Structure 1
Amino acid sequence: MVQAYILIQTDVGKASAVAEFIAEMPGVLQAEDVTGPYDVVVRAQAETVDDLGRMVVAKVQQVDGITRTLTCPIVHL
């Protein structure tokens, strides 16, 4: 199982709606609207890195109001 944080920038005023919508997606563990350079932070999981990438590109990035994402896989050193 691969987990990652997905940092999301949204259009002005869209962070709350984006976080609520993404929180309902399969594989999403948590979605919070935050302040700072990113508007929403998501913790997600998938079986493989490829599955995670497909989820981000095919599902998350297609949500109305999202302008940019940055995916940060979690590593255990």
Structure 2
Amino acid sequence: MVHAFIMVKTAAGKSEELLDSIRGLGPVSEAHIVAGNYDIITEVETEEVYDVLHTVVGKLQKLDGIADTKTYICLQ
């Protein structure tokens, strides 16, 4: 099992609107609006590292209002 955190920066005023859409993505187990350099922190669990990539590039970044993402894959 691959566990990862994806930091999401949204367009101004879009965080609350995007939260439910992000939570609805299959591999997403948690998503929360946070304060700091990013607007939403997303937790995903997948079978393979490739599935994390597919979630970020194929699903998350395609949502209207996503400005930037940064992915952290857990090592233990």
**Matched residues, percent identical?**
34
Segments of 5+ residues of structure 2 without an aligned counterpart are none
Residue aligned with 2:37, SS: coil
- Return the letter of the residue paired with 1:4: A
Structure 2 partner of 1:36: 36
- Return the letter of the residue paired with 1:52: V
Residue aligned with 2:29, SS: strand
How far apart, CA to CA, are the structure 1 residues paired with 2:17 and 2:3?
23
How many residues are matched? 76
- Return the letter of the residue paired with 2:9: Q
Q: TM-score, normalised by structure 2?
A: 0.95
Segments of 5+ residues of structure 1 without an aligned counterpart are none
Q: Deviations over 1:36-60 (max 9, x none)?
A: 1000000011110011101110001
Q: How far 1:62 moved relative to its partner?
A: 0.4
Q: TM-score, normalised by structure 1?
A: 0.94
Structure 2 partner of 1:54: 54
Residue aligned with 1:72, SS: strand
Give RMSD over aligned pairs: 0.7
Q: Deviations over 1:12-65 (max 9, x none)?
A: 100111122100110100011111100000001111001110111000100110
How far apart, CA to CA, are the structure 1 residues paired with 2:58 and 2:41?
18
Q: How far 1:75 moved relative to its partner?
A: 1.5
